[in-house]
Amino acid sequence: MKAFILDRYGKNQTLRLGDLPEPTPSPDDVVVEVEAAGLNILDSKIRDGAFKPILPYKPPLVLGHDLAGTVVKVGAKVRRFKSGDAVYARARDGQIGAFAERISVKEADLALKPANLSMSEAASIPLVGLTAWQVLVERAQIRPGQKVLIHAGSGGVGTFAIQLAKHLGATVATTASAANAAMVKQLGADIVIDYRSQNFEEELSGYDLVLNSLDARTLEKSLKILKPGGKLISISGPPDPTFARAQGMNAVLQLVLRLMSAGIRRKAKRAGVDYSFLFMRADGGQLERITKLIEDGTIRPVVDRSFPFETLNEAFAYIDTGRAKGKVVVTMK
């Protein structure tokens, strides 16, 4: 089968289109013919080598976490899916590889594709949808009337998180450029801070949650708008000791991550705020709940551009500019 292969780590490394053996499913695996795959900043960071301490993949490897396609084979223990089913998933860590014609995915990571979405729209959802769900529903447990700031509202996670936070009954603020203000308001943002001309930390106060996906400076400034007992959850780091333990990292790596996050954890404690790092995980059950919100019209996908599969490197170049509104996908057909 055809697949894009990362031969070595490197900044903006070009992926090679080559041939690989067909995937062989284990008893709890489902083989999916990929019809569309979503690109994520996580793919870029793995390609660049930035995640080697956390995700020690060994090149050559196939990147790609988000996929939508058709089931072509199931393992002996699989009961929820059959050949011909239209499905989508965020493949779990250690089993990624959506930038290929076929991929083997754990049954537990899959969900039936939302009936009202195309394959390319469905492929844009899993990673960002699960990230938003795990921040807002699972960890922060957002309730009606609470106040949430979502940084980078026009990005992949931001466009989904705004819609989910509104569904949960929150007042939603977001940071975006003036050019994207109308779009994020349409998604449900109540307050839009133009990051080029306004300082969000001077405009907002008394917030229950900040979802950070930006740099360390933004992370620190976010502490100022949270009320005591509020939560600062970052998906862009720094990783904290709780994450290191959950990943089963060795003592040296645990110490490194403890030191990396010591500053923000100390400042958060001083402010009476809870800081945590979230590295989202694959979860087909949560994806099924997201599917219901999509099918009833509560949440809609935001796809910036769709590229043909063979131009995957061009798609990477586009997301590396940081200007994508929502998600970028590649399609097989």
Count of structural domains within the chain: 2
Work out the average pLDDT over 32-49: 97
Q: The domain spanning residue 210 has which CATH number? A: 3.40.50.720
| Integer CA distances (angstroms), 40 to 101, 126, 157, 319, in order | 18, 11, 10, 8
C-beta atoms surrounding 268 within 10 Å: 22
pLDDT band of 2, cuts 50, 70, 90 = very high
pLDDT at 169: 98
Mean pLDDT across the chain, nearest whole number? 97
User: 89: which strand partners?
Assistant: 67, 110
Q: Are residues 7 and 18 in the same domain?
A: yes
Copy the structure tokens of residue 106.
């754990």
- DSSP helix/strand/coil, 283: coil
Cβ–Cβ < 8 Å for 150, 173: yes
Q: The domain spanning residue 15 has which CATH number? A: 3.90.180.10
- Give the list of residues 6+ apart from residue 252 with CB closer than 8 angstroms, or none: none
Could you tell me the residue range of the domain that residue 20 belongs to? 2-125+301-331
Residue 234 within any structural domain of the chain: yes
User: 303: which strand partners?
Assistant: 327
Query: CA 292, CA 195: separation in Å to the nearest integer?
Result: 33
Work out the average pLDDT over 102-116: 98
* Closest C-alpha among 92, 126, 139, 67 to residue 294: 126
Q: Are residues 79 and 188 in the same domain?
A: no
Q: Are residues 119 and 134 in the same domain?
A: no
Q: Are residues 95 and 183 in the same domain?
A: no
252-309 pLDDT, tens digit each = 989 999 999 999 999 999 999 999 999 999 999 999 999 999 999 999 999 999 999 9
Q: What is the DSSP string of 61-130?
A: B----EEEEEEEEE-TT--S--TT-EEEEEPPTTS---SBSEEEEEGGGEEEPPTTS-HHHHHTSHHHHH
- R_g of the chain computed on alpha carbons: 19
Q: Are residues 162 and 234 in the same domain?
A: yes
Burial status of residue 233 (CB atoms within 10 A of its CB: 0-12, 13-18, 19 or more): buried
- 207 half-sphere exposure, CB direction, 13 A CA radius: 28
User: 223: which strand partners?
Assistant: none
Q: Which amino acid is at 310?
A: E
pLDDT band of 229, cuts 50, 70, 90 = very high
230-246 pLDDT, tens digit each = 999 999 999 999 999 98
Cβ–Cβ < 8 Å for 273, 265: no
Query: CA 63, CA 159: separation in Å to the nearest integer?
Result: 23
Residue 11 within any structural domain of the chain: yes
Copy the structure tokens of residue 5.
């292969």
Q: Are residues 132 and 270 in the same domain?
A: yes
Residue 284 within any structural domain of the chain: no
* Closest C-alpha among 178, 249, 173, 245 to residue 212: 173
116-155 pLDDT, tens digit each = 999 999 999 999 999 999 999 999 999 999 999 999 999 9
Residue 286 within any structural domain of the chain: no
Residue 157 within any structural domain of the chain: yes
Q: Are residues 146 and 273 in the same domain?
A: yes
With a cut of 90, say whether residue 56 has pLDDT above it. no
- Give the list of residues 6+ apart from residue 94 with CB closer than 8 angstroms, or none: none
Q: Are residues 151 and 111 in the same domain?
A: no
Least confident span in 94-98, 246-250, 314-318: 246-250
Cβ–Cβ < 8 Å for 251, 77: no
Q: Which amino acid is at 52?
A: K
Residue 294 within any structural domain of the chain: no
SS3 of the chain: helix, strand, coil, percent, to 5: 35, 25, 40
Q: What is the DSSP string of 147-178?
A: EEEESSTTSHHHHHHHHHHHHTT-EEEEEE-G
* Closest C-alpha among 169, 272, 267, 149 to residue 214: 149
Q: Are residues 59 and 117 in the same domain?
A: yes
Residue 283 within any structural domain of the chain: no
Q: Are residues 255 and 147 in the same domain?
A: yes
Residue 143 within any structural domain of the chain: yes
Work out the average pLDDT over 65-76: 98
pTM above 0.95, yes or no: yes
Q: Are residues 108 and 188 in the same domain?
A: no
CA distance between the termini of the chain: 15
pLDDT at 54: 86
Q: Are residues 134 and 269 in the same domain?
A: yes
